[in-house]
Amino acid sequence: MPRIKPIERVKSRAIRVALKVFMAEPSLGKCQAKALFAEILSHLQSGMDDEQAVQAVVKNHAAGGLLTHCR
């Protein structure tokens, strides 16, 4: 049985975090998915837990109700 690598664990967490991000801020659905997932992965790899990553992404993208950093 192949071993599960740490990056694979983080990637599976990133999907759950992305769902939480979209539920917290549905307007982020207008952002490029690849960039959003890359941001989520970087937060998780830096040691943030799921809820901290959700808050960081929402805070980074929703400034005063206006979406920023979406390409």
Q: pLDDT tens for residues 36-49?
A: 999 999 999 999 99
pLDDT at position 7 is 87
Handedness of CA 11, 48, 53, 61 (dihedral sign): negative
Residue scoring higher pLDDT (61 or 37): 37
Show the DSSP H helices in 6-47 as ranges.
6-24, 33-45
Beta bridge partners of 62: 67
Reduced to 3 states (helix: H, G, I; strand: E, B; else coil), residue 26 is helix
Res 33: pLDDT: 86
64, pLDDT greater than 70 = no
CA 47 to the chain's CA centroid: 13
pLDDT band of 24, cuts 50, 70, 90: very high
